[in-house]
């Protein structure tokens, strides 16, 4: 079990608020390539940082799932956790599109000790609760699911491996992620447990924040059918984030759940 103080920004970024959180630290995947013309390996980084696509702290990839163009698991190698990032290789050997996901279910427990608010996190709710200090009061268990995704295509794109799982907060990619162009508009659908998710804000941030004075981020909101329309201002890598919360917990000991979808896409020049 890991105990942290309530005021720590990295933890608060993961669990506070049921609306889209205005958070400093971002969780993201970054592939070395999103489109290739010949079979090859690509490398993917996973990190937590203030700066979009700047390495600061490794994000664990225990929940790594790579789905190939046929809907079956693809070949992954060299998964390693380093100091500032985790890294792994994906073999693009079959023509079509690959979904690269890290889905991290877990729990946060909030409690007070001598009037001071604290939080702990872990994957086992019973263990978390059992390890609380004996004088802990005002205990609240929160169920959390973070889903990080990015995509890569060998040759002609397809959507077989990009189908939503029906679990947590996801995107149905009506516009293929390898068909994004500067000046054009992509249309995606937000899903919550496989059903359209209305009224959810999606924040978008272009990469390269190190080299400008502002984030240049913007938000779009899903309509009553879960649809978001995103117009891309320029070519480059983009980070996107959406979050929501409800009481549809899988563990009856949890008071509520918090879900995040965090994606990385590449927009090409016209």
pLDDT tens across 164-177, in order? 999 999 999 999 99
Place of tokens 């002609």: 156
Which alpha helices (DSSP H) does 54-188 contain, by range? 125-130
SS3 assignment, position 71: coil
User: Is 76 part of a structural domain of the chain?
Assistant: yes
Alpha-carbon span 37 to 25, nearest angstrom: 34
Q: What does the pLDDT read at residue 208? A: 86
User: Is 34 part of a structural domain of the chain?
Assistant: yes
User: Is 175 part of a structural domain of the chain?
Assistant: no
Q: What does the pLDDT read at residue 90? A: 98
Q: What does the pLDDT read at residue 40? A: 97
User: Is 135 part of a structural domain of the chain?
Assistant: yes
Alpha-carbon span 29 to 90, nearest angstrom: 13
Alpha-carbon span 51 to 209, nearest angstrom: 6
SS3 assignment, position 212: coil
Count of the separate structural domains present in the chain:
1
Alpha-carbon span 241 to 149, nearest angstrom: 10
User: Is 32 part of a structural domain of the chain?
Assistant: yes
Q: Which domain holds residue 32?
A: 2-164+232-267
* Host H or E run for residue 220: strand 218-221
Alpha-carbon span 249 to 252, nearest angstrom: 7
Place of tokens 């592939």: 31
Q: What does the pLDDT read at residue 25? A: 80
User: Is 128 part of a structural domain of the chain?
Assistant: yes
**Phi, psi angles (nearest 5°) of residue 158:** -145, 175
User: Is 194 part of a structural domain of the chain?
Assistant: no
Give the residue ranges of the chain where pLDDT is below 70.
Answer: 1-24
User: Is 118 part of a structural domain of the chain?
Assistant: yes
Q: What does the pLDDT read at residue 241? A: 97
Q: What does the pLDDT read at residue 24? A: 56
């Amino acid at each position: 079990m890991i105990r942290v103080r309530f005021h720590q920004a990295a933890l608060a970024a993961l669990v506070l608020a049921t609306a889209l959180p205005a958070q400093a630290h971002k969780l993201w995947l970054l592939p070395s390539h999103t489109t290739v013309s010949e079979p090859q390996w690509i490398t993917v980084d996973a990190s937590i940082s203030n700066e979009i696509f700047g390495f600061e702290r490794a994000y664990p990839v225990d929940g790594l799932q790579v789905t190939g163009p046929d809907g079956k698991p693809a070949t992954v190698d060299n998964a390693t956790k380093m100091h500032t990032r985790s890294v792994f290789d994906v073999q693009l050997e079959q023509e079509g599109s690959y979904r690269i996901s890290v889905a991290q279910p877990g729990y946060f427990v909030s409690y007070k000790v001598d009037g001071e608010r604290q939080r702990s996190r872990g994957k086992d709710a019973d263990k978390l609760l059992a390890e609380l200090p004996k004088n802990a009061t005002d205990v609240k268990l929160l169920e959390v699911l973070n889903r990080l995704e990015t995509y890569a295509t060998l040759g002609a794109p397809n959507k077989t491996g990009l189908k939503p799982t029906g679990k947590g907060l996801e995107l149905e990619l009506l516009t293929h992620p390898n068909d994004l162009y500067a000046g054009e508009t992509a249309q995606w659908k937000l899903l919550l447990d496989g059903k359209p998710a209305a009224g959810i804000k999606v924040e978008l941030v272009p990469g390269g924040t190190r080299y400008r004075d502002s984030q240049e981020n913007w938000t779009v909101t899903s309509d009553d059918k879960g649809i978001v329309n995103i117009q891309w201002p320029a070519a480059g890598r983009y980070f996107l984030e959406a979050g929501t919360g409800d009481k549809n917990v899988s563990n009856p000991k949890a008071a509520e759940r918090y879900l995040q979808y965090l994606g990385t896409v590449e927009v090409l020049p016209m």
